[in-house]
Amino acid sequence: MAKVEGPLFSLEARGKIGNAIVFTPWKGRHVVRQWLKPTNPKSTTQGYVRAALKAVSKWIKKISHISGSDATDSVVYQAMTASAAAGENWNAFAGKGFLGRLQSANTFQTGSFTDLVEVYSSLEGTDKAAFETNATVLGMVDFAFGYGYTTNIPAGLQLFFGAYAAYDDSIVGTAPYNTVPASWVASDVDAFKTDMVA
């Protein structure tokens, strides 16, 4: 990528010339790069990744909207902010924590995603109902993705994915976060929801 000062004899240039080059600001600098036609193959694997990202993003969004800009009231937010690497946003850290559980050799595994969905589906009684009830209380809603993984992703499953994003002994370090969310009982799920908002 070429760095330019005063491109095209101006102080700033934006946009593309033909289908050849693009002028754009990037990190406070004016740059010129080759124009590349964006591709969006909508492959099955891409659909799975996007469905997983959308599900955990809906959980992250709930923390952001509940907590406000400073998020001083959210235990989960504070713990993830403290655990994220320098320069890394807490929401990226949370997403990476969740997606890392669906990878093998740095490659997203659709089987890992469906396995986690199956784990949620096999939860019994009040434990599964606690995820569903707390997700509803938080205002989370079901959704289905258009390609790849097209099965409905219920609100409770989104909260379950959030629990996996927060599950790490080094993040919060106390119950229920130091145990696998699949083994959480209803009171653990209730505590998790409370920690999201207070």
DSSP per residue, the chain: -EE-SSGGGSS---EEETTTEEEEEETTEEEEEE---------HHHHHHHHHHHHHHHHHHHHHHHHTTT-TT-HHHHHHHHHSPTT--HHHHHHHHHHGGGEETTEE-HHHHHHHHHHHHT--HHHHHHHHHHHHHTT---B--SSSS-S-B-HHHHHHHHHHHH--TTTT-STTTTS-GGG--HHHHHHHHHHHH-
Give this prediction's pTM. 0.80
Q: What is the mean pLDDT of residues 66-91?
A: 78
Q: Given this model, what pLDDT does residue 128 score? A: 95
The domain limits of the chain are 2-34, 44-197
Q: Given this model, what pLDDT does residue 179 score? A: 87
pLDDT tens-digit readout, 36-76: 888 888 999 999 999 999 999 999 988 877 655 555 678 88
Q: Given this model, what pLDDT does residue 78 score? A: 84
Q: Given this model, what pLDDT does residue 97 score? A: 84
Is residue 172 over pLDDT 60? no
Going by pLDDT thresholds of 50, 70 and 90, the confidence category of residue 117 is very high
Is residue 190 over pLDDT 90? yes
Q: Given this model, what pLDDT does residue 70 score? A: 53
